[in-house]
Amino acid sequence: MAVEHTSGKKVGSVMLYALSTCQWCNKTKQLLRDLGIDFDFVYVDLLEGKEQSEILDTMEKWNPRGSFPTLVIDNKRCIVGFQEGQIREVFGT
Amino acid sequence: MTLPVFPDALIDATYSDLKKEAEDGGYRLNQDIDFTKNLIRGLLKNEQRYGYRACPCRLATGKKEEDLDIICPCDYRDPDLDEFGACYCALYVSEAVQKGQQKLSPIPERRPPRANRKNPQPLTPKGLAPLAALPLPVWRCKVCGYLCAREQPPEVCPICKVKKDRFERFI
Ligand code: SF4
């Protein structure tokens, strides 16, 4: 699966579902990088067929609207959209 | 690399075209030029891979009938401009946002989720006869609301420039 990893400070599992063309996804990814967080991300638009629909099914459990970016933290909390304040708050900065 | 490298000249030309088209119809592009040009790269990438400019911030299926509502400008642009001062991607913004009087915040997705999307309506739905008193059917542009009374919708919306397939029968 085309999940990419960015190394950084470990704060549990952090998964970003994104689109390669979406600027809010881009900003979210950049913010996580700036915060130095260890996270995984996947560009759902670059996947195809079954692989894409399986990822979407997982993502929609967290965000039923199926929109991007969707950020899932520690399999507990989900942040939809580029919510800079909320993201900073979760990672304590 | 996440976006294909398009020549700067192409990005600049597309930007100028979109800006002119927007302004001619009373719309405005986001004043943050770098952000806007990245969105344009996304639109061009989608045009390259799907054959049409699907919304950069939404997942297209690649099947045009299913993606019609999210071909840019999407069916959701105007309601989001009214309510939030920008379209979902923030390619288009309101006057207040453009002038810095209103700040942008994340816009909730207005498009129905995958499971609830309606099948596209055919251009001439059955059972919708023209009102007896009207000599012609009335067509509505789903993007900007433009109405016209004629046998068929125009090839291109004179206001927002979307194609004929974005019209619905209104009366
Ligand atoms: S108008 Fe905005 S939200 Fe709609 S498709 Fe275009 S860029 Fe996306």
| pLDDT tens per residue, range A76-91 | 999 999 999 999 999 9
What pLDDT score does B1 carry? 45
**Cross-chain residue pair B59–A20, CB shorter than 8 Å:** no
- Residue from B46, B57, B111 whose CB has the most chain A CBs within 10 Å, to mutate: B57
Q: Using 50, 70 and 90 to split pLDDT, how confident is the model at A92?
A: confident
Residue A68 has pLDDT above 80, yes or no: yes
Report the pLDDT averaged over residues A59-87. Answer: 96
Is B114–A26 a contact, with Cβ atoms under 8 angstroms apart? no
Fold of B129-169: Rubrerythrin, domain 2 (2.20.28)
B88 close to ligand 1 (CB < 6 Angstrom): yes
CATH architecture of structural domain B8-116: Alpha-Beta Complex (3.90)
d(CA B31, CA B52): 24
| ipTM of predicted assembly, 2 dp | 0.93
| Mean pLDDT within A43-60 | 96
- Facing residue for B3 by CB, picked from A20, A64, A83: A20
| Length in residues, chain A | 93
The answer to whether the CB atoms of A20 and B45 lie below 8 A apart is yes
- Nearest atom of ligand 1 to the alpha carbon of B56: 8
Question: How far apart are alpha carbons A78 and B61 in whole angstroms?
Answer: 24
Which range of residues forms the domain containing residue A34?
Answer: 4-90
SS3 for B29? strand
Contact A28, A54 (CB under 8 A): no
Q: Domain boundaries in chain B?
A: 8-116, 129-169
Q: Say yes or no to pLDDT of B125 above 60.
A: no
Cα of A74 to nearest chain B Cα, Å: 23
- Tell me the residue type at A91: F
The answer to whether the CB atoms of A44 and B56 lie below 8 A apart is: no
For A48, which residue in chain B has the nearest alpha carbon?
B61
**How far is CA B16 from each of CA B12, B23, B29, B40, B42, rounded to the nearest angstrom?**
6, 10, 10, 11, 16
**CA distances in angstroms from A85 to A79, B76, B161, listed in the order given:** 11, 26, 37
DSSP-assigned states of every residue in A24-86: HHHHHHHHHHHHTB-EEEEEGGG--HHHHHHHHHHHHHH-TT--S-EEEETTTEEEES--HHH
**H/E segment holding residue B106:** none
Residue A58 amino acid letter: T
Q: How far is B87 from chain A (nearest CA, A)?
A: 12
Ligand 1 closest atom vs CA B80: 3
Domain count, chain A: 1
Predicted confidence at residue B115, as pLDDT, reads 87
> Tens digit of pLDDT for each residue in B13-69?
999 999 999 999 999 999 999 999 999 999 999 999 999 999 999 999 999 999 999
What residue of A is the nearest CA neighbor of B88? A24
Contact A23 B39 (CB under 8 A): yes
Average pLDDT over residues B111-131: 69
For CA atoms A92, A93, B1, B3, the dihedral sign is: positive
